[in-house]
Amino acid sequence: MRPVFKDYSQGQITLFPASLNDRIPQDSPVRLVNEIVDKLDISNIIKTYKGGGASSYSPCLRDENSLGNE
């Protein structure tokens, strides 16, 4: 079985605020972290997921949250 990750979109419209991107300044270091993490090759990490059960959050989302909060 392949792992299934929960969908996430930083441009997703929510009630408050309208979008996460609207709340992050254009010159914020968080945008650089996001760009770097999105370009990482995580294929070896994905191979360690067994799949089955409930869907998981993407390892990229975890990394973005961890690095963005440092």
SS3 57: coil
Q: Which tens digits make up the pLDDT trace of 9-58?
A: 777 666 555 677 778 899 998 888 888 888 989 889 888 888 778 887 77
Specify if 31 maps to a domain.
Answer: yes
Domain count for the chain, please give it: 1
Q: Is the pTM for the entire model greater than 0.85?
A: no
Spell out the residues 6+ positions from residue 19 whose beta carbon is closer than 8 angstroms to its own. 10, 11, 12, 13
Structural domain including 53 reads 20-68
Assess if residue 60 is contained within a domain: yes
User: Collapsing DSSP states into helix, strand and coil, what is residue 56?
Assistant: strand
The string over 21-40, giving b where at least 16 C-beta atoms fall within 10 Å of a residue's C-beta and e elsewhere, is eeebeeeeeeeebbeebeee
Note the pLDDT of residue 33.
85
In the predicted structure, residue 62 carries a pLDDT above the cut 60: yes
